[in-house]
Amino acid sequence: METQATINYNRIADAIGYYKANFKDQPSLEQVAEHVHLSPFHFQRMFKEWAGVTPKQFLQYLTLGHAKQVLGSGATLSDAAFEAGLSGTGRLHDLFIKIEGMTPGEYKNGGEELPINYRFAESPFGSLLIASTHKGVCYLAFADEDRTASLDLLKEQFRNAQYHKAGDGWQDEALAIFAQDWSRPREIKLHLKGTAFQIKVWETLLKVPMGGLTTYSEVAGSIHNPQAVRAVGSAVGANPVAFLIPCHRVIRSDGQTGEYHWGSTRKQAIIGWEAAQMETRVA
């Protein structure tokens, strides 16, 4: 059964998709509200509560021109003032995200004897499934399927692990990123299964600030392997912790949003939402 938060996000996503498909016609608030089966008043209020800005303001963050402006701002991964593991900006929040790679022994034989806690939670972008080991968060995925199917996808990662339906402190710190509570710095620990190359790419993505964007070729250049653009794309796609490692901030060099494991509309929603958070807190 869908939660109200997920129902609301699905309406927002539907509206974003409509705006993107009909942008040239500049649809009115009334037209989009009718498309998502809401009155203009309720649609405007719901959207403002979700994004912090009006639908019209939000739309500007989804345009090709905005993406190109961000990419052309002159700041690159190589000279950004965000060291490996630091995500966000002082204007908005400080998050220290540290990746620890699993040892071969921790995931051999399908993670045999590896205890994993898991639970379902809500986010501005739909339901989530989050899981953690005793060392940190090991999995975060949007639960678009029913809960049984979503849990099965997690269990495919570690077929022989010991699963416990339970929350813990690692999960709490990670989920707080969606609460927009920037009153104190948070340290988020990730305990991930990945190759040395994948982990290097994931660490590099943590340098991209909220509201910022980068490209696959720029990521490849920043890890001193400019020919590895396709390999970078594969590593981005293999990211096991949605949102925390911001693979959604990687777009194509021409400014197009590009593909996303969790759907292109959700990618656009996250990019626009982050831009709106930056804008409203700077204003």
Residues annotated as part of the active site = 247
Own/partner pairs, 127-131, CB within 8 angstroms, 24+ separation: 127/2, 127/3, 127/5, 127/6, 128/175, 128/242, 129/153, 129/154, 130/171, 130/174, 130/175
Number of Cα atoms under 13 Å in the Cβ half of residue 33: 16
C-alpha–C-alpha distance, residues 171 and 162, integer Å: 17
C-alpha–C-alpha distance, residues 266 and 274, integer Å: 12
Bridge partners, residue 139, by sequence? 131
C-alpha–C-alpha distance, residues 117 and 162, integer Å: 8
Ramachandran angles phi, psi of 138, nearest 5°: -115, -10
C-alpha–C-alpha distance, residues 67 and 251, integer Å: 9
C-alpha–C-alpha distance, residues 11 and 5, integer Å: 10
Q: E strands, 102-216, where?
A: 115-123, 126-133, 136-142, 162-165, 186-192, 214-215
Q: Are strands 126-133 and 95-101 parallel, antiparallel or unpaired?
A: unpaired
C-alpha–C-alpha distance, residues 101 and 108, integer Å: 13
Q: E strands, 126-264, where?
A: 126-133, 136-142, 162-165, 186-192, 214-215, 250-251
C-alpha–C-alpha distance, residues 212 and 274, integer Å: 9
